[in-house]
Amino acid sequence: MEVPMRCLTCGKVIGHLFKPYKELLEQGKTPEEAFEELGIKRYCCRRMFVGYVKLNKEVLPYRRD
């Protein structure tokens, strides 16, 4: 599953912020600090980052019929 390009609730474009968000977390920042630094203020957009799970490796082995 790919990174969502838009928030499913409000429609704000957020796809370009996933990589910087992951980089900030790797630097040791908390999710709250990363959201503040990236300017993500809405709870609906924040849930898109917190709830995202990368499933590419689990989904790819299955065929589409």
The CATH topology of domain 1-65 is Arc Repressor Mutant, subunit A (1.10.10)
* pLDDT per position as a tens digit, 21-62: 999 999 999 999 999 999 999 999 999 988 877 766 776 777
How many whole angstroms separate alpha carbon 20 and alpha carbon 64?
33
pTM above 0.75, yes or no: yes
When comparing pLDDT for 33 and 65, which is higher? 33
Domain boundary assignment for the chain: 1-65
Q: In the Cβ-directed half-sphere of 44, how many Cα atoms lie within 13 Å?
A: 8
